[in-house]
Amino acid sequence: MKTSNMLNLRTVASMLDVSAVQANSTKKDVESYANLAIKYDCKAVFSLPSFLPFLRDYREDRGATFLIGAPVGFPAGGATTEAKVLEAKSYLKFDVDEFDLMINLGFLLSGMYENVRDDIKAVKDAIGDKVLKVIIECHYLNNDLMKRAVDAVIDGGAEWVKTGTGWAPTGATLENIAFLKSIVGNKIKIKAAGGIRELETIQDMTEIGAERFGVGSSAKKILEEVADLRYF
């Protein structure tokens, strides 16, 4: 592990969205990740929608400060825009702070770029000032399609672009983080997700432009690793 310019524990935790969003994620997983977020002061906890009421109540009961995150149109992105809007609106009552919207990948791959933008904009309009991150699932995209996707994300009014769901064969790579940063500049921010399993990956991706990280089962190991390094 390189130690020059090493991220400290507070900084790493402040960039982590600990996420229980796999099909087999359980209530116990959500509770475990919430406790991890409380212990280390992680930025956010994401759960599948059915566990949002539990996550909201758990945060309230413990006086925790982590943000609550919800996926929308997850993981395929192929729901109608109307369904995504209704879905997002329905989660507002669970005090969701941030929404991770799966792009309509089928539209994107079909060259229906205006439809992709309109899909994003409709959800953003529905959630108002809540934060919207759009998952573009880089695994399936070449550079041209990544740029098309980012253009739709920006034009649709979202604040973040996110690399993947964690359900595709690959997720964030140094190459696609660097490419995304070259496109977005300072217009929007980048969340890396999918295959984030090592502290060094977070360190490297931070240096080239990622500012948030979606991490599941590796979160505890990563946080314990940086804590053990004692860069406080």
Domain that holds residue 173: 9-229
| DSSP character at residue 77 | -
In a domain, 216, yes or no: yes
Tell me which of 22-36, 168-182, 196-210, 216-230 is least confident. 216-230
Q: What is the DSSP letter of 166?
A: S
Residue 3 lies in a domain: no
Prediction pTM value: 0.94
User: What total number of domains does the chain contain?
Assistant: 1
pLDDT for 228: 84
Show which residues are catalytic.
100, 162, 191
What pLDDT does 5 receive? 63
Q: What local confidence, expressed as pLDDT, does residue 230 receive?
A: 56
Q: What is the pLDDT of residue 171?
A: 85
Residue 4 or residue 38, greater confidence: 38
Residue 4 within a domain: no
Q: Which two tokens stand for residue 31?
A: 């509770």
Burial 131-158 (b: 16+ CB within 10 A, else e): bbbbbbbbbebeeebbbbbbebbbebbb
pLDDT band, residue 231 (cuts 50/70/90)? very low
CATH of the domain at 75: 3.20.20.70
pLDDT tens column, 83-136: 999 999 999 999 999 999 999 999 999 999 999 999 999 999 999 999 999 999
Using CA atoms, how far apart are residues 81 and 196, in angstroms rounded to an integer?
Answer: 30
What pLDDT, on the 0 to 100 scale, is given for residue 187?
97
Residue 212 in domain: yes
**Does position 3 have pLDDT exceeding 80, yes or no?**
no
Distances (CA, A) of 83 to 73, 80, 126, 212: 8, 5, 12, 27
Whether residue 208 is contained in a domain is answered as yes
- Residue 2 counted as domain residue: no
